[in-house]
Structure 1
Amino acid sequence: MNKKWSAGIVAGVMFAGLLAGCGNANNNGGNDAGTNAPANTNTNTNTTTNTGSNAEPTEEAVNLRLYTYGTEEAYNWKATLAAYTQAKPNVTIELVQLSEKGDTQEATKKLDLAAASAEQIDVLMFSDAASYAQRVSLGMAANLDEFITKDGYKVEEDYKVDTHLNGSVYALPGKFNPWYVLLNKDHLDEAGLAVPTDWTWDEFADYAKKLTKGEGAQKRYGTYFHGPQNGGWMEYLKLKLENQPENSEFLKADGSSNLDDPNFKATLELRVKMEKEDKSSVPYSDMISQKLAYRNQFFNQSASMLTIGSWMNTEIGGTDKVPLTFHVAVAPFPKNNPGDEAGLTPVTTDYVAVSDTSKHKQEAYDFVRWYTTEGQVVQGKNIPAWNGVKSDQIASIVDTILAGTKNPELVDKNSLVTTLVNSKASQIIAPASYQAEVYKAINEEYEKLILGNQDIDTTVANSQKRVEEIIAANKK
């Protein structure tokens, strides 16, 4: 067993629990992305073996164990793994499903325990950058640089998500869930507004103002921001940071504070202007006191625009619980300035890694590379992060996804496909072990601002001071 991992297992489990608490809210709000279901109390690990084709293996038989939180329903494992074994008859993939319901918190705990127990792990998946970075630091994932160099490609060119950490690659990205803006196209048509294909936050604010209508309880707002909340959903306080190629977080890659970036203050100014001056965004106090749900705000037409992650692809055409009764279009995540690089947006993905304890690293890497490229097309459940997938293939995948909704004909598929094709992730910044403390402090200062208890300059200064103190305390 990897000694570094063994020594760090207790800290790793505690860190996973801490980040999972804020990560679910920060990334997708529990079940929003289809991977964080309520915790399953059954502690048994389910394993299924893909037997593949009947072809006689021409090479030495290899059995790989794939540890994943992904369910059959969400990941189409049987067909996907069968396709790989058909291509590689000597390789058997044993699927170890860590949660029957796709609960990433439960799955992460079981993965940690499996590693601590020295179980055979060859391929493993992480659901977020925090889990990926933390377990790389503990030595759980193998360095893939040598394999990638041998294959002759660059991750930052072959994929929309750059998975480098400290200059090396330890995982390849699977699915691609960028953030975008959902639009009530009927409201846009009524206001004489076109579906944006490239726009700025100033233009977003202008749209929201023009889309706002009515007063009192029946008022329709131009937009709804579902955060921040209790240190979660912090994307909504990084709006003008997240569309930058680097330094898109509250902390820089070297662990220092990034709150002196003018785009942090600009985000606060945008939020205050839209809520207090334009009165075009749902009040923060209403979101908190009424415990508003973003699906209801958008699908009930209480808000005309919703900035959210593309895990909503599976619901965008309406579901039994949340039906769609109007036309929906999609716009890209806004830029700060017209001349800025287009398409940069917050992105969630699956980080697919080779275990550092695997005795078959080459075969495990071969599977990871296939799964994150051709395998994503075979799987047909998500938009791949692989740039080898052409626009017409993405359109076909979107067709399959929309077919599972109640009213796909009400969705402007062209705007959805165009937005997904043009989206790309900014640089991954490995989260600090005290990230949750940073989020909580900034959230608290924002609440003082938006509830009228301090001004923007004081909010920035107090946030900087508190974050610097958190950083200093954790360096001791």
Structure 2
Amino acid sequence: MNRKQIISMVLAFAMVAILAVGCSSKETDKSNKGEDQKKPVKLVFWGGVPADAGPQNVVDTWNKTNPDVQVEYNRFVNDDEGNLKLDTALITNQAVDVYFSYNVPRLQKRVDAGTALNLKDFKDYDIEDKMGPSALDWKIGEDYYAIPTTKNVYMIWLNDNLLKEHNLAVPTAWTWSEMQEYGNKLKTDKRYGLVQFLESYADPMDSILSQFGETKADGTSNLDHPGIATWLTTLNEMMGTGATVPLGEQLTSKMPVETMFLKGEAAMLNAGPYIFRSSNNLTENPREFKIAFAPVPRITEDPAEHKQRNGLGDGLTINPKSKHVDEAWAFSKWYADEGVMLMAAGGRVPSSKDVDREAAVKLMIEGVEDLYDVDSLQNVLFEQENTFTRKTPQQVLDLRREEYEKFFVGSQQLEQTINNMVKRHNDYLKQ
């Protein structure tokens, strides 16, 4: 072999080596890209409950067992301003994959805006079988756009020590007239008989309308039903005597009614089980009195004419613009059957039949059982029948509120208030 042949052979081997290195480098690049593609999917989960009252425990538990799908919690306050923040994020394509709609009117608006995914194509989870017939209240048209994950229970929280001082029994069924009597007996110069959240103010009105219909047989408004005038008059009288706080004062001061009750500045509180996250926190809300529970009173004397606002709540909703819809659905199913149990200590009562509700109640009051009348709690959570879920459109809720607020602050008489609500409701119905 001459010199030229040797040189040619060396060059050929060198070229083969260079090509092999290049191919190896490309294969390594491909492998690295494959590793990049295996980064965990990130889901952003929006809810109205403070992270330390259950949601952080939920996402931490999920993330430990689902390394490929990591969830991050983002809290919004469940009021008008907070819901506007969420709706803005949905419309402007900010990071929202799964979120809560806390009532049907809110969900309806999101369905209309195209920001709630229709769940009809998911066949591996039967919402009605899991949640029972009350789930039907969450249907929009013929379909579900959310999984209602909790059992909504509105109830009257009672200072049991004060009841005993005044020889008053814990009611198992009562009327607004009877609650007015309790309020008058329990009030003092420094203590209201009853305080309420503004969100639940119209529940007596909705109880009447859910039983007798929002419209009459001729299709016109039923807001002039006699029961509504009875509610307006009774509550207004309670404001006048100090049995409850005047609405004008509550609106201007943004009164912390929950804190007032836990401090003993009110004997009764109209609220849901979400208060447990505060009433169990004896560091921030120290108290020595026991809390008992009663159902929300009815307007009419006949129990058969009353419906209790309970039903289901906390509708878990998927953003149709999410890039990870399948993962969001997997998280939603897990939350509805398992994850929601981690919310019980914060006052959420799971609605799925796969959850042990009595165990949830134990978690709700764990460590402070002696500060509650457990029998009355069980009664309001599980023994109330003939319930309703508020489904009135937000526009109607708003127009009603605007009129009854005028009445309660003294700028409008009862008859004018009823007439205005009826007229405005009829105008809405014509639209």
Would the TM-score normalized by the shorter structure come out above 0.5? yes
Contact 2:44 2:72 in 1 (8 A): yes
User: Is the CA contact 1:221–1:304 (under 8 Å) kept in the aligned structure 2?
Assistant: yes
Q: Give 1:463 shift.
A: 2.9
2:275 to 312, 319, 329: 312
1:269 matches 2:233: yes
Instruction: Name the residue aligned to 1:207.
Output: 182
**Match in the other structure for 2:195:** 224
Matched, 1:399 2:365: yes
Distance in 2 between the 1:439 and 1:100 partners?
23
Partner in structure 2 of residue 24 of structure 1:
none
Alignment of 1:322-471 (within 5 A): 322-335=285-298, 336-340=300-304, 344-345=308-309, 349-358=313-322, 361=325, 364-381=328-345, 382-400=348-366, 403=367, 409-422=370-383, 426-429=388-391, 431-433=393-395, 435-448=397-410, 454=413, 456-469=414-427
Instruction: Decide whether aligned partners of structure 1 residues 107 and 436 sit closer, same or farther in structure 2, where only a CA change above 3 A counts.
Output: closer
Question: For structure 1, which runs of at least 5 residues remain unmatched after alignment?
Answer: 1-59, 227-232
Offset at 1:182?
A: 1.1
Which AA in structure 1 matches 2:371? L
The alignment partner of 2:362 has SS state of helix
CA distance change for structure 1 residues 443 and 166 in 2, over 3 Å: closer, same or farther? Answer: farther
Write the deviation string for residues 123-169 of structure 1: whole angstroms up to 9, x where unpaired: 33334444322111122222223536864844661667832122321
- Aligned match of 1:131: 106
Whether 2:217 is the aligned partner of 1:239: answer no
Partners in 1 of 2:77 and 2:94 — Cα distance?
25
Q: What letter corresponds to residue 136 of structure 1 in structure 2?
A: V
1:143 paired residue number: 118
> Does the aligned pair in 2 maintain the 1:81–1:93 contact within 8 Å?
no
The change in CA–CA distance for 1:266 and 1:352 in structure 2 (over 3 A counts) is same
Q: For residue 224 of structure 1, what is the amino acid of its counterpart?
A: V
Residue type of the alignment partner of 1:323:
P
Cα 1:102–1:136 shift into 2, 3 Å: closer
Superposition CA RMSD, Å: 4.2
The verdict on how the C-alpha distance between 1:341 and 1:258 changes in structure 2, with shifts beyond 3 A counting, is closer
The alignment partner of 1:239 has SS state of helix
Query: Aligned partners of 1:178 and 1:99: how far apart in 2?
Result: 22
Change (3 A) 1:205 1:107: closer
SS of residue matched to 2:155: strand
Question: Residues 155 and 163 of structure 1 are in contact (CA less than 8 Å); yes or no, is this contact kept in structure 2?
Answer: no
Which residue is 1:301 aligned to?
264
Distance 2:182 2:127 in 1: 45
Match of 1:73 among 29, 49, 52: 52
Q: Distance in 2 between matches of 1:367 and 1:341?
A: 40
Contact 2:127/2:135 (CA < 8 Å) preserved in 1? no
Which of 50, 71, 76 does residue 95 from structure 1 map onto?
71
Number of residue-to-residue matches in the alignment:
387
CA 1:438–1:331 in 2, change beyond 3 Å: closer, same or farther?
A: closer
Aligned CA distance change for structure 1 residues 376 and 285 (closer, same or farther; 3 Å): closer
Change (3 A) 1:466 1:85: same
Q: Which structure 2 residues correspond to residues 278-293 of structure 1 after superposition, within 5 A?
A: 280-284=243-247, 287=250, 292-293=255-256
Residue 159 of structure 2: aligned partner: 184
Distance 2:204 2:70 in 1: 41
Counterpart residue identity of residue 353, structure 1: T
